């Protein structure tokens, strides 16, 4: 399958997992999803990533996000690995890890990059909205652990900009000023949408306090 691009529909699948068989669309329901892949079980960087994901459970939950991991190893190995993750990272893995031994999901989501490895999945992240649309893709090299603060930041931006006519500037964090989209030009609509006002650095660069704060 061709690489998934932003705006594509995330493919559905049924696959076994550490929490039993999963029909992806049914499991996701109307939640946002972070689907992230791992080269293999019992690898050091992945162990820290899964531990961090578990530690951030409340942050994902308050954003209406369900995390789900994937590795090409089988369920029994996942369960052994989860015990190690919980022990070494001082947490409790509370989300499923897909057991993609037949590479069905890896093929659907283009997670095997032969020039990097012909057997291991790359370290990719897919942020998928409740309509099952791919909203963000990030791929890291195997040697580099993911920045989960950045993943949460992107989700905050997506959820904010879906509900308000704004974009988020460089290094934006929840609570910072945002940019009024250039397509919004009607003064009355601007005043209605942004009652706290705005400052025009340039006609095309208008900053306003975050509207849902």
Of the candidates 30, 111, 42, the residue with the CA atom closest to the CA atom of residue 66: 30
Tell me how far apart the alpha carbons of residues 149 and 169 are, in angstroms, rounded to a whole number: 16
pLDDT of residue 206: 97
43, pLDDT greater than 70: yes
Q: Is 40 a catalytic residue?
A: no
CB 119 within 8 Å of CB 72 = yes
User: Taking CA 67 as the corner, what is the angle to CA 175 and CA 164, rounded to the nearest 5 degrees?
Assistant: 35
Q: Which residues contact 11 (CB under 8 A, 6 or more apart)?
A: 1, 4, 24, 108, 109
Is there a domain that residue 74 lies in? yes
Catalytic residue among 10, 33, 46, 160: 46
pLDDT at 141: 85
Distances (CA, A) of 114 to 52, 100, 117, 120, 122: 28, 17, 5, 9, 10
Residues 140 and 170 in one domain: no
Residue 181 lies in a domain: yes
- Mean per-residue pLDDT for 32-54? 93
Looking at the chain, the whole-number percentage of residues with pLDDT higher than 90 is 83
Q: Residue 187 is part of which domain span? A: 164-208
Q: What is the CATH number of the domain that holds 198?
A: 3.30.1020.10
């Amino acid at each position: 399958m061709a690489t998934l691009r932003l705006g594509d529909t995330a493919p559905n699948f049924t696959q076994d997992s550490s929490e039993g068989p999963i029909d992806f669309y049914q499991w996701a329901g109307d939640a946002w999803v972070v689907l992230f892949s791992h080269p293999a079980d019992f690898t050091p960087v992945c162990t820290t990533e899964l531990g961090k994901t578990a530690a951030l459970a409340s942050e994902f939950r308050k954003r209406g996000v369900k995390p789900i991991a994937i590795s090409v190893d089988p369920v029994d190995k996942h369960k052994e690995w989860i015990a190690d993750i919980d022990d070494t990272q001082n947490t409790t893995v509370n989300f499923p890890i897909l057991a993609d031994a037949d590479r069905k999901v890896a093929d659907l989501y283009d997670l095997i990059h032969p020039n990097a490895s012909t057997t291991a999945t790359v370290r990719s992240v897919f942020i998928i909205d409740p309509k099952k649309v791919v909203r963000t893709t990030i791929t890291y090299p195997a040697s580099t652990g993911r920045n989960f603060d950045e993943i949460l930041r992107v989700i905050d931006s997506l959820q904010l900009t879906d509900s308000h006519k704004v974009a988020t500037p460089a290094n934006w964090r929840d609570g910072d000023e945002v940019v009024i989209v250039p397509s919004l030009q009607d003064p009355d609509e601007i005043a209605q949408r942004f009652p706290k006002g705005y400052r025009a650095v340039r006609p095309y660069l208008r900053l306003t306090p975050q509207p849902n704060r």
